[in-house]
Amino acid sequence: MSDNTVGTTNRLEATDPGGAPRGGVVISGLTLSFGRGEARKEILRGIDLDVPAGKITGLAGESGSGKTMTGLAVCGLLPAGADLGGSIRFEDTELIGLKQRSMNRFRGAKIAMIFQDPSASLHPMLTIEAQLVDHYRHHTGASKRAGRERALEMLGLVAVPHPEAALRKYPHQFSGGQLQRIAIASALMCEPSVLIADEPTTALDVTVQAGILRLLRKLCDELGIAIILVTHDLGVMSALADTIAVMRMGEIVEHGDRYEVITAPRHPYTKALIDALPESGARSSDGTES
Amino acid sequence: MTERGMTDVLAVQTRRKGRLRISKQLRTPLAITGGAIVVFWLVIALLAPSISPYDPLAQDFERLQAPGAEHWFGTDQVGRDVLSRVVSGAQVSIPLALMLVVFAMLIGSVLGAIAGYFGKAIDEMIMRIADLVFAFPTIILAMVIAAALGPSLTNAVIAMLIVSWPAYARVTRSLVLGARNAEYVIAGRLLGNGPFTSLGKDILPNVISPVVVLATLDVGTAILLLSGLSFLGLGAVPPTPDWGSMVADGVQQFSSWWIAAFPGLAILTVVLAFNFLGDALRDALDPRSQEAVQGRAL
Amino acid sequence: MTLLKLDDLEVSYKLPGRGSLKAVDSVSFDLEPRQVLGLVGESGCGKSTLARAVCGLEPASSGSISFNGRPVGKLGLRKRDPALMRIQMVFQNPFASLNPRRTIGSQIEDGLRVNPDRDAWSVPDLLEHVELDPASRSRFPHQFSGGQRQRVAIARAIAAGPELLIGDEPIASLDASLQARIAILMRNLAVETGAALLFISHDLSVVRVIADDVAVMSAGRIVERGPVDRVWSAPEHPYTQRLLAAIPVVDGLGVLPG
């Protein structure tokens, strides 16, 4: 995107103490809880995470570990009643405590999110064109024509075949893999600096998954987008993430270079996760181990 | 997977408190008001003979007395005490309405469940009959049937049973249609459940709560309809102290407002109370209110 | 004697409007007693339809299924043929496969009731075998996590004393760290009770661990079948090769698959 060059030059200016490099997100001491008193449930207990531009930061862990909630917190999509503490800095802005209206400027535009089920993020009764273009025009105030051109460009970028025809179709007319590509195109419409991908390939077949993984890598490398990859799938992690943060019960127990986390995990929990993989749990361990 | 897992965690939490939450939802002001009024009328109905100040049928007093110390609700056009008649009327209207609704629900849900589960010809037959009933306005059809059977409370109840079961049949049928292919139902079939075992053990217990809610909401309507039939002279035969026929009597004595007003008020409060209760029950049992709690976690 | 025999089986669905979709297309295979067969393929390849047909839940449009020499017809509205109750299935979604209004103990008892060998198991016994607390029999499904519910579903199926246990994507909805364990548990219980296992999954890495044989399904057909190690190391069919190549390897090297 054209923004990319600007991003590089601004990076120097923006790295004042406490500020994130342009396009990245710096999370520090993030806490999240629901409820009060005895019913209080702590979901995140002090997350520190650097999400630099042009890198894919993986968040691994089991369900309930808080990895999805971390993604939602960055996106400002937490459910009502969430009690958020600590800091999430995006460029020069502190996102925590931001008014709903100011947050709307970032959400879906500068910070976008894609989910496990792409059909859930697309309106079933609207054409692809209506969804992509309206969203873009809402954030940028661009003309209909400009919006349409942008949509065509993005559909081309994510390699949806026949973008012109695709714009006129409805979500149910696409396969899961194509729909995820369209959801990604929709997320890219407003030139986001940060893309949160929550289990983006979990619902897809492995052969389709391979294509989406390549696409995400390309977006990161070519557009310099910071990607937060949330997944429980260590195979996907190993293929795509640059660094891996392993979460457990609302904390990051280990964060480091992909190769090191996977081949030489330091935390026992990471080791247990890797040992639970069927490849390493050979058939000889039947019964006794489980 | 994460999302499902997360939902799971929260679902378990919220559902563990399920009972507590339902009672909480039933503790809204409206629900409490509704419950209190219903209890009040049930007590009145139970104690009617001992608490009614005079004999509800005795024409012992001066006609058309306005409410006063002697006759709190006044007397009617033949000199009967209106308060005593309203109190005794609770014994007529409320049990009849409850019975009516229970039977309509039983007949309707059984037929609906059979239609939904077996489908095909049986479904066609049951549902076409239901459609036939649906094709006419409820009150008019009930009037026609009641008129054909001759005026009596029993006949009014039969007429209303005929017009009110199809609503239950329809709701139950669609619920059964939605549940009959659930995995636990199929798992049961694979373990040898026949169709009726399957319906009774697996399907109905899981889908029946909306039908019960519908029934609660219907008690009010039933009282209204019964009163309506009596009002039109198709239900209770004089001198039975039925609220509907009392209102009908009162309307003819326009200047003596109390004759119609007090039984009318009784109908109003009971109908409202059952509606409040039904609404609260619907909110409490609505699976969406549970999902809303879980959904927020995502 | 062959336990399960599929002969040129075809199952098709009527599509809304005109035409039909062949979900299972001339599939033939044999399954021997006590054999563990993994059936893998991508979504929409017909593997679940195949499983449902074997349980009598989908009618065959042509060809035949026989179990212990007895033809498997569609389970209509009648009670299931007791001989066919020796086929039991564990479903994909543990949140839908247990009756929410009944205790897990009574649901497992449903299984015991149809077991020809009545004293083979008791409920606490079964719960212990699926690694649940025997005291939890009086609890309701919502008090369990997804993995625990799947264990209950396995216990219920095993309670019926099956000769053929089918798992229709039984681990797809579970947490990653649980998937292999539940799959291994299913295999072990099947082997221990002398049942054959037809394990359907899109996850080849798990199938590789638990199955003796693997069959690869694509577009309604079985394109390759063989011992799991052979298929894994030397896939013959191009589709199998593509499928295997697409699995990301957990080596930390950052190599994109496919």
Chain C nearest-CA distance from B17, in A, is: 11
**To which residue do tokens 């999509």 refer?**
A77
Q: Is the pLDDT of residue B4 over 80?
A: no
Q: How many helices (H) and strands (E) does chain C have?
A: 8, 10
The answer to whether C210 contacts A207, with C-beta atoms less than 8 Å apart, is: no
Nearest-10 crossing angle of helices A128-140, A176-188: 20
Residue B11 with chain C: CB contacts under 8 Å: 142
d(CA B132, CA C240): 58
Which of A221, A195, A44 shows the shortest CA–CA distance to A106? A195
- Average pLDDT of chain A? 84
Tokens for B240? 């039975």
Going edge to edge, which strands form the sheet with C87-90?
Answer: C87-90, C164-168, C196-201, C36-40, C213-218, C221-227
Q: Extract the residue ranges of chain C whose pLDDT is less than 50.
A: none
B298 band by pLDDT with thresholds 50, 70 and 90: very low
Map out the domains of chain C as residue ranges.
Answer: 4-245
Chains with at least 3 CB pairs less than 8 angstroms from chain C: A, B
For every residue of B7-30, DSSP letters joined together read HHHHHHHHHHTHHHHHHHHTTSHH
**What pLDDT digit, counting tens, does each position of B216-256 carry?**
888 878 888 888 888 888 877 777 788 878 887 887 877 78
What's the confidence (pLDDT) of residue A11?
A: 37
More confident call, C182 vs A9: C182
More confident residue, C54 or A78: C54
Contact: A232, B298; criterion CB under 8 Å: no
| C246/A contact by beta carbon, under 8 A | yes
CA distance B220 to B218: 5
Does residue C132 sit at the A interface (CB-CB below 8 Å)?
no
What pLDDT score does C111 carry?
93
CA dihedral B7, B12, B18, B21 (to 10 degrees): -60
The answer to whether the CB atoms of C176 and B1 lie below 8 A apart is: yes
- pLDDT at position C164: 97
Minimal Cα distance from A231: which residue of B? B2
Winning range, highest mean pLDDT, from A65-74, A175-184, B195-204, C148-157: C148-157
What tokens were used for A109?
A: 């535009």
Helix (H, G, I), strand (E, B) or coil at C30: strand
| Other Cβ atoms closer than 10 A to A13 | 11
Q: What is the CATH number of domain C4-245?
A: 3.40.50.300
In one-letter notation, the amino acid at residue C74 is K
* Domains recognised in chain B with CATH numbers: 2-296 (1.10.3720.10)
Give A27→chain C minimum CA distance, Å: 25
- Of the ranges A158-167, A264-273, B62-71, C158-167, which one carries the lowest mean pLDDT score? B62-71
- The residue of chain C with its CA nearest to that of A218 is C256
Residue B12 has pLDDT above 70, yes or no: no
- The single residue listed with the structure tokens 């060809």 is C63
**What is residue C161's DSSP assignment?**
-
A256 pLDDT higher than 60: yes
The half-sphere exposure of A220 on its side-chain side, counting CA atoms within 13 A, is 25
What is the mean pLDDT of the segment spanning B279-286? Answer: 74
* C-alpha triplet B62, B66, B70: angle, nearest 5°: 70
pLDDT-above-70 percentage for chain A: 88
Task: Give just the sign of the alpha carbon dihedral C140, C145, C146, C151.
Answer: negative
Angle, CA B240 vertex, CA B236 and CA B246 arms, to 5°: 80
Nearest Cβ partner of C96 from B18, B183, B189? B183
Residue among A40, A63, A114 with most chain B CBs within 10 A, to mutate: A63
Q: Sort strands A251-257 and A243-248 into parallel, antiparallel or unpaired.
A: antiparallel
* B215-235 residues labelled b (16+ CB within 10 A) or e (exposed): bbbbbbbbbbbbbbbbbbebb
For residue B73, give the nearest of B88, B55, B86, B90 by alpha carbon.
B86
Cβ(B41)–Cβ(B273) under 8 Å?
yes
What's the per-residue H, E or C state across chain A? CCHHHHHHHHHHHHCCCCCCCCCCEEEEEEEEEECCHHHCEEEEEEEEEEECCCCEEEEECCCCCCHHHHHHHHHCCCCCCEEEEEEEEECCEECCCCCHHHHHHHECCCEEEECCCHHHHCCCCCCHHHHHHHHHHHHHCCCHHHHHHHHHHHHHHCCCCCHHHHHCCCHHHCCHHHHHHHHHHHHHCCCCCEEEEECCCCCCCHHHHHHHHHHHHHHHHHHCCEEEEECCCHHHHHHHCCEEEEEECCEEEEEEEHHHHHHCCCCHHHHHHHHCCCCCCCHHHCCCCC
Binning pLDDT at 50, 70 and 90, where does residue A1 land?
A: very low
**A-contacting residues in C 8-67 (Cβ below 8 Å):** 42-43
Minimum-distance CB partner of B118 among C77, C91, C95: C77
Contacts of B202 in chain C (CB under 8 A): 99
pLDDT at site B286 = 59
Please determine, for residue A286, whether its predicted confidence score (pLDDT) is greater than 60: no
- From the list C80, C92, C174, the residue facing B189 with the nearest CB is C80
B156: how many CB neighbours lie within 10 A of its CB? Answer: 29
Place of tokens 């979709």: C21
Confidence bin at B9 (pLDDT 50/70/90): very low
- List the structure tokens of B56: 């509800």
Would you say the C-alpha torsion A250, A253, A257, A261 has a positive or negative sign?
A: negative
Cβ pair B142, B151 in contact under 8 A: no
DSSP state of C187: H
Per-chain mean pLDDT for chain B: 80
Cα torsion A272, A275, A281, A285: sign: negative
Cα-atom radius of gyration of chain B, to the nearest Å? 23
Give me the mean pLDDT over the B196-213 stretch: 89
What confidence score (pLDDT) does residue A284 get?
A: 34
Confidence of residue B261 (pLDDT cuts 50, 70, 90): confident
Q: How far is A230 from chain B (nearest CA, A)?
A: 9
Interchain pair C88, B191: CB under 8 A: yes
| Residue B255 phi, psi (nearest 5) | -75, -25
Rounded mean pLDDT, B137-148: 87
Tell me: pLDDT of B274 over 60: yes
Q: Are C189 and C156 in contact (CB under 8 A)?
A: no
Evaluated on CA atoms B101, B103, B107, B113, the torsion sign reads positive
What pLDDT sits at residue A22? 59
Q: Point out the least confidently predicted range of A213-217, B78-82, C45-49, C72-76.
A: B78-82
Tokens standing for residue A137: 């025009």
Query: From CA C44, how far away is CA C41, in angstroms rounded?
Result: 8
Torsions phi, psi for A63 (to 5 deg):
-65, 140
Among C77, C96, C113, the residue with its CB nearest the CB of B182 is C96
Q: Do C143 and B189 touch (CB under 8 A)?
A: no
Q: Quote the percentage of chain A above a pLDDT of 90.
A: 47
Closest CA to C155 of C142, C136, C175, C173: C136
Q: How far apart are CA C81 and CA C114, in angstroms?
A: 11
Span between the terminal Cα atoms of chain A, in Å? 50
Using an 8 Å Cβ cutoff, are A31 and A69 in contact?
no
